Amino acid sequence: MNDFFYEENFIFESTVSIIDNRYMNTILEYEESYSKNHYLTESEKKSLVFKTREFFNRLINAITTFMKNIKNKIDNFIKSNKIDIELMKKKSYFEKLKKKGVTSVTSIDIVKYKETYLDETKKLWKYVSRIKEMKYKSIDQIENDLNKFKKIMEEYENKLDAIYDKKIEISIDKAIDIVNAEIHGKSTNFQTIQRCENELKGMQIYVDSIENKFNSIGDEIIPKKVNLLVRVCTDISKFVKKHVSRIIATIVFLFAF
């Protein structure tokens, strides 16, 4: 089940790694230039804005392509395995179990996993909003925020991994509700990918406004702040990709009954 989206995940990770390494080299160039001259030229400022916007555009393309690829994979899987019919049978199966007096089934707690993931994703994007509004006065403040973010991500990942690795008893009624949501297209899985795309588009608009802020924020702070936003948004995109693919793969295979 974990390997169901292996190819799609590999393509996304490889693409992001390439654009991320390219951008890191760009940032190093600006930092070296500042350390030599103690300022950035107008040409360098414009270039920084352009290349940062270009980075977010490529990241948006990567997440959009990933979404298309997993949708195609699911569509093909449904067609080849008649999974919609199987879902209906599963609903009927659960209802028969209920009539027989069976009250629960063993499964990953996919409901808790989804709810935790959705809550964490909202909090992560709020953290990005805070960084955008933050008026940093020193490099240390930026480094502290990056370290805080890494700790938050580690905490969230550990929490989700703990839920994913544990089997629990799910009530028959809840199992029927989950299957119903998938049959009637009420699943919220893809909404978080759309949110990710929208947030990254918002970052493009933010980056466009940076060119007018060099004088007020400083030539040293701007590249560091922009790089912080790039690091955070890249990690959130990977977070979304990882957990959406996990959720969908789990539901596609109808738990592990």
State the DSSP H helix or E strand holding residue 217, giving kind and residue range, or none if neither: helix 214-217
Tokens of 143: 């480094």
Q: What would the pLDDT profile of 57-100 be if each residue is shown by its tens digit?
A: 999 999 999 988 887 877 776 666 555 555 556 667 777 777 88
Q: What angle do CA 129, 131, 135 make, to 5 degrees?
A: 125
CA neighbor of 188 nearest in space, from 234, 236, 244 = 244
Residue 99: predicted pLDDT:
81
- Tell whether pTM > 0.75: yes
The helices-and-strands tally (H runs, E runs) of the chain is 9, 2
Q: Is residue 1 part of a domain?
A: no
Asked if 249 contacts 74 with a C-beta cutoff of 8 angstroms, the reply is no
pLDDT at 92 (0 to 100): 72
Does residue 237 lie within any of the structural domains? Answer: yes
Count of domains in the chain? 1
82 in a structural domain? yes
pLDDT in tens, 149-164: 999 999 999 999 999 9
Which region, left, alpha or beta, applies to residue 107 given φ > 0 means left and ψ of -120 to 50 means alpha? beta
Which whole number is the average pLDDT over 205-233?
Answer: 87
What is the Cα–Cα distance from 158 to 116, expressed in whole angstroms?
Answer: 12
pLDDT for the residue numbered 255: 44
Structural domain of residue 112, as residue ranges?
6-252
Residue 257 domain-assigned (yes or no): no
Query: Binning pLDDT at 50, 70 and 90, where does residue 32 land?
Result: very high
